[in-house]
Amino acid sequence: MSEEAKRPLWTSGQAMAATGGMLIGEPGWTATGVSIDTRTLEPGDLFVALQDARDGHDFVAAAMEKGAAASLVERGDTGVEPALLAKDALQALRALGTAARDRSSAIRVAVTGSVGKTSVKEAIAAVFRAAGPAHWSVKSYNNHWGVPLTLARMPRDSERAVFELGMNHAGEIRDLASLVRPHVALITRIAPAHLEHLGSVEAIADAKSEIFEGLEQDGVAIYPSDDALAERLARHAKHSCAAFMLDFGTDASAAIRIESFETGLDGSRGVANVLGIRAPFRLAATGAHWAWNAGAIFAACAGAGLDARDVAEALSGVGAEPGRGRAVRIALPGGGDFTLLDDAYNANPVSMAAAIEALGSASPTGAGRRIAVLGDMLELGLDENRLHAALADNLAAAGVDAVLPCGRRMKHLHDALPNNVRAGYAQDAGEGLEQVKSMVRPGDVVLIKGSNGSGLHKIASVLVDGTAFGLTEA
C-alpha cells in the first residue's frame, strides 16, 4: 500500500458526525480506507457491514481480525468493537460519501452510457492522476453501493475525481448523480442495452440523461454528436442547470472532434481537435470504436480544465485494460502464437458490432484466420433472438473466417450463419474453451466477447495467463 493510501481518511469523530451514528467501544480510532468486502479489506479500513446479497454483519469479526480500524454496523449484537452503530448501514455509507464530497474541492466528473463507460472512466482517471492528486471508481463500482463507497473513499485533497454511474432501471442514474453532484456529466453513447427493463432506446437515452439533473450549478454537460439520439440528449442537457454543453464526435460541427483515427493490433492513433486546439494522440487499445471513446475522454478532460495536449501525452502511457480491447500475443504449445482480441468484459449489439469490426480490420499472419468467439448478450428483452441472429451480417461484412457462438441465446446466431463459417457451437464458456483450444492455430486473430453473465471473460483469462494450454501452473 502506498503512503498516500495510508493517510488518515476518517477519524471516529468525523465518521460519527457524518452518519449521525453512535460510537461503541474505544472512540479514538482513525480509518485510512473504507471497505465492504473482507476479501479485499486492507488494514486500517473502516468495514461497512452492508446487508445485500449476504449480511455483512456475519463478517465483522473477520474484518477486525484482518486489521480493520472499526466496523460500521446497524446491529449492536456483533460483540466486536470498536464500532459505529447506525440505523441503516447503506444510508450511513451514503452519508459518508456526501460528507467526503462536501469537504473536498475536487472537480467531479460523472460518466455513464450504454457503451464504453468503464474504458472511458479508466482513461480519464489515468489523465487525472498525471495532472495531480486524483480519485476514481475502481473496477465497475457504479451501482447503489459502489458510488457512495467511491465517494466515501475520496481523500480531502483530491484535485479531480471521476465516477462511473450504471443502471438497469429508470431513476437509478438520477439518484446516483444527485449523490455525486458532478461538475462535468458525460454520456458516452446510447445503445440497446437494458431493453428488457426499459423497452426502447429512447427510454434508455432518457434514463442516461438523468445524469445531467445532478449537475452542479454552472456545470458542463457532454454528449456524443454522432449518436442517433444526440438531439434527445441535448434537449435533456438544455433543461438542466448546465452552463456549458459540449458535444464530441467526428462531425465537423462537434466541439471536440476526432479529425483522424487509425487502429490496428499495435494500438490506435489519431488527432483530436478540442475547441480549436489540435492534439495528436496514441492509445494502446484497438478498434474503430476507440475513436468514439477518445472523443469522450478529451471532452471530459476539457470540462475538467485540462489542456488537450497534456491529455494526449497522458493517454500515450495508458495500457489497454483486460477485457476492453487489448490485443495479446499468446504462445501455442506446438510453437508459434496467435493474437487474442480481449474484449470480453461486456456486450450489447452496438459494442458487439464494434468489436467485430475491429476483428475485421486485423490482419492474421501466415495461414491464420479471423475467429470470433461470441457469448450471449443479456438484458435485451423480447427482441433478443433477432438481435443475436443479426450479428451474422456484421460478421459477414467483417470477413470473419470462423465463428464459435457460446450460450443459449447465441444459438440463434449459429443458426443464422452460413455453413462455411460455423466453427461449432458451445452451450457455455467451459465447453467453449475446449473448442477454442482445439481450433486455434498459429497466425490466428481471435476475438472473445460476451456479456459478463456469459462467462466468456473466463476463457480470455486462462488464455492470457497460459493455464489453458498448461504453459503455466494453474
Q: Which residues are annotated as a binding site for ATP?
A: 113-119
DSSP state of 8: -
Task: Give CA–CA dist 142/145, Å, rounded.
Answer: 8
Rg (CA), the chain: 23
Task: Give CA–CA dist 407/1, Å, rounded.
Answer: 40
CA atoms within 13 A on the CB side of 363: 5
Q: Say which residue the cell 465517494 belongs to.
A: 151
Question: What residues have CB less than 8 Å from 246, skipping those under 6 apart?
Answer: 220, 221, 222, 255, 256, 299, 302, 303
C-alpha cell at 393: 451480417
Binding residues: 113-119
**Side chain identity, residue 386:** R
212 within 8 A of 221, measured Cβ to Cβ? yes
Secondary structure element (H or E) that encloses residue 96, with its range: helix 89-103
Nearest-5° Cα angle at 249, 321 to 373: 40
